[in-house]
Structure 1
Amino acid sequence: MNTVDGEDGLIAGIGLPDEGAPSELDWDSLATGRPGGFRLCWLHLDQKEERARDWIRSQAGIPDVAADALVAEETRPRVQRFDNGLLIVLRGVNLNPGANPEDMVSLRIWVERGLMISVRLRRLLAVQDTLAALREGDAPADSDELLAKLADRLFRRMEPVIDDLEERIDLVDEEQTAGSLRQPTNELQQLRLRTIILRRYILPQRDALHQLTNDPPAWFTRRTVSGLREAADRVIRYVESLDEIRERAMVIQDTIQNRNSEELNRRLYLLSIISAICLPLGLLTGLLGINVAGMPGSDTAWAFWAVSGLMIVIVALEIWALKSLKWFR
């Protein structure tokens, strides 16, 4: 029983006979190529191990193009038809400890009747769930049904991540509605960035699943096609949710910026009004403050109070004029 994750590149190998319990496969079972004597076989391999890459290229018995795609360093979600099978590349959220969920993990799959080969770079919990279900007796009828089960678990694992983003954007929205959020926060920027990254990888999976369900292989059962369509609908909901989160984040940021701009404009307007009122007073006091002979009232005791009264009258006239012009209320 091969249970050591990534040991020599064979993470797990399970053969399902016509009757009886599943068999655990090891490299000895694959020494001559594909294992025989099973109605369904699933091999889950580690792309980082050279032994796994060599076996895929030389002994898996799949087209060279598909083999190269399974062991490629970089790839994107897609579906490619071959005469005897399908190449499917999907991505799942990274739920490994200490990892960012938006750092999505690719899962490359070759599937044909009676055989599924999956290759990964990092651990995916959806794969572990499916392996555990197989070992506990949840045996699919064929590889197409196994593919549908794996895809369903892969996309269900995304739901908590999307829900978390929705809860966080709701919280930010509540804060800005209450007026406690005055500046675009790091939280808001991170939400937008995470949403963009997730959407970038999830959206192609919707197209890939649509391609697969619109023109499925002849050996796919109706149950499998129905399951894959349900998975595609789930992905569509995720994309729509991500679009909504991204748009809400933009609206919140625009609202905060507009609120700050309005507040700044009000302050600048108030300063402009004060400046307009004080400008004549400044001109008058500047004129009376020049140090030249002949200034009227310099020898009169009540001249200061006369000037003060005149300035009060000027301010009153200015306020009346500004209100008449409806510059302020």
Structure 2
Amino acid sequence: MVSIPGRRQKKRRKEVIKRAAAIGAAPGVLVADPQAEASVFSVIGIGGGRGEYHQGVSLDDALARRAAWPLFWLDCSGLADIEAIRRIGAEFSLHPLALEDVVTTDQRPKCEIQADHAFFVMRMLDRAGDGEQLSVFFGDGFVLTFQERPGDSFAPVRERIAKGAPRLHAGRADYLAYALIDAVVDAYFPVVESQVARIEGLEDDILATVDEDQVPELHAVRREMLGLKRWLRPTRDALGTLLRLDRPWLHAETKAYFGDVQDHVDQLIDTNDTYRDTASGLIDLHMTLSAAKTNEVINLLTIISTIFIPLGFLAGVWGMNFNPELSRWNMPLTQSPYGYPLALGVMAAIAAGLLAYFRRRRWL
């Protein structure tokens, strides 16, 4: 995947302008992004060893199903419907500041704890490496997820629910939240592996031959890996907050699973940092090899010039117009029948002598 820096920078500038326009607004005020996609609701109910999945339902229909299931998962894809998001907040007693963070989609990954639920924010990636904000609320008997747009990393979790996975059908919201967060973290691995493959390929290309297009590609992948670092490190800290949490709706067994997710994030961070440093080293290597190649060309041109300087001098001297009949000291060899081959022989001997000298000094 090759990023397009110009487009991403434009997008960042738009976000800054949007946030600047909201300066001074009261805390907890929900304002939809004008470019936000329409909200689509889906619901999964789990209990009694079975699960039920409904996609594209109205919010009224979704909330009406809550009482029928011990574990209720409501997913909102698209954040344009502010009234619906506000209603969900009222239904589940979500803090207004947390709802503001849901619709302000430039949040740093974090975990906030309330008395009866946890609020977890992270970045969800697709295989192209594009990220969107994912907000997860979970407490006793419910899990809520808010995405910027349809299309997520939750397909494996939905399949496990459909197949009757015992742990997911046990009806514990903390385990379902773990499964969702783990699926999002697992989606980072193909992206990181793709970047690793790009860097290793660029390393082989640079060692084979230096090309001017390699440095922009290295800068692009390094910038992407810096972005991953900006998302992964706070995600690890947020998981640490969950591991230290003592609430009745977060079981000790589930904490062990969250610890496993944290180990995966640490692995991603280590790989990302290692190959980001490798990319920086390859940029330095590219500059070194480019300079060496330039010096090699300059050395060759210098040697060629050095060889032709005396030859050009001799040709210039013999090319001067003097009358040899006026003096025997005017232009020797010009009247000799062997003058031309002798002159060429002298020039060839000088060139051969210079080449031998350069080889002896290891300049060739």
- TM > 0.5 fold call: yes
Is the contact made by 2:185 and 2:265 (CA closer than 8 Å) also made in structure 1?
A: yes
Q: Does 1:118 align with 2:132?
A: no
Q: Any conservation in 1 of the 2:322–2:331 contact (CA below 8 Å)?
A: no
Give the corresponding residue for 1:3.
none
Q: CA deviation at 1:227?
A: 0.7
One of 337, 344, 352 as aligned partner of 1:308: 344
Compared CA separation, residues 181 and 266, structure 1 to 2 (3 A): closer
Q: 2:239 aligns with which of 202, 209, 221?
A: 209
Does the aligned pair in 2 maintain the 1:92–1:124 contact within 8 Å?
A: no
Name the SS of the counterpart of 1:150 in structure 2: helix
- Secondary structure of 1:212's aligned partner: helix
Deviation at 1:231, TM superposition (A): 0.5
Q: Which letter does structure 2 place at the counterpart of 1:79?
A: C
Structure 1 residue 102 and structure 2 residue 129: aligned?
Answer: yes
| 8 Å contact kept, 1:183–1:257 | no
User: How much is the aligned-residue C-alpha RMSD, in angstroms?
Assistant: 3.3
Query: Aligned pair in 2 of structure 1 residues 140, 49: CA closer, same or farther (>3 Å)?
Result: farther
Q: TM-score, normalised by structure 2?
A: 0.73
Q: Distance in 2 between matches of 1:57 and 1:221?
A: 24
Alignment of 1:176-255 (within 5 A): 176-177=206-207, 179=208, 182-185=211-214, 188=218, 190-213=220-243, 215-219=244-248, 220-255=250-285
Q: Secondary structure at the match of 2:149?
A: coil
SS in 2 for 1:44: strand
Give aligned-pair identity as a percent: 21
Q: Work out whether 1:81 is the aligned partner of 2:117.
A: no
TM-score (norm 1): 0.79
Look up the equivalent residue of 1:107 and give its one-letter code: L
CA distance in 1 between counterparts of 2:355 and 2:60 reads 97
Partner of 1:55: 87
Question: Which stretch of the first structure deviates more once superposed, 271-280 or 166-175?
Answer: 166-175
State the partner residue of 2:14.
none
Q: What is the SS of the residue equivalent to 1:248?
A: helix
| Structure 1 residue 216: Cα displacement | 1.5
* Aligned counterpart, 1:93: 125
Letter in 2 for 1:119: F
**Equivalents in 2 of 1:61, 1:141: separation in Å?**
21
* AA partner of residue 235 (structure 2): Q
| Number of positions where the alignment pairs a residue of Structure 1 with one of Structure 2 | 313
Q: Residue 125 of structure 1: SS of its match in structure 2?
A: coil
Shift of 1:121: 0.9
Structure 1 residues not aligned, in runs of 5+: 1-6, 96-100
| Alpha carbons of structure 1 residues 118 and 312: separation in structure 2 relative to 1, 3 Å | closer
2:70 counterpart letter in structure 1: R
Name the residue aligned to 2:331.
296
Residue 45 of structure 1 deviates from its aligned partner by 1.5
Q: CA deviation at 1:242?
A: 2.0
| Contact 2:74/2:145, CA 8 A, preserved across alignment | yes
Distance in structure 2 (CA, Å) of the matches to 1:70 and 1:102: 21
Residue 162 of structure 1 aligns to a residue in which SS?
A: helix
What's the secondary structure of 2:136's corresponding residue? Answer: strand
The one-letter code of the counterpart of 1:114 is: G
Residue 61 of structure 1 aligns to a residue in which SS? coil
Question: Which amino acid counterpart does residue 88 of structure 2 have in structure 1?
Answer: I
- By how many angstroms is 1:64 displaced? 1.3
* Conserved? CA contact 2:86–2:99, under 8 Å: no
Match of 2:73 in 1: 42
Q: Distance in 2 between matches of 1:51 and 1:136?
A: 35
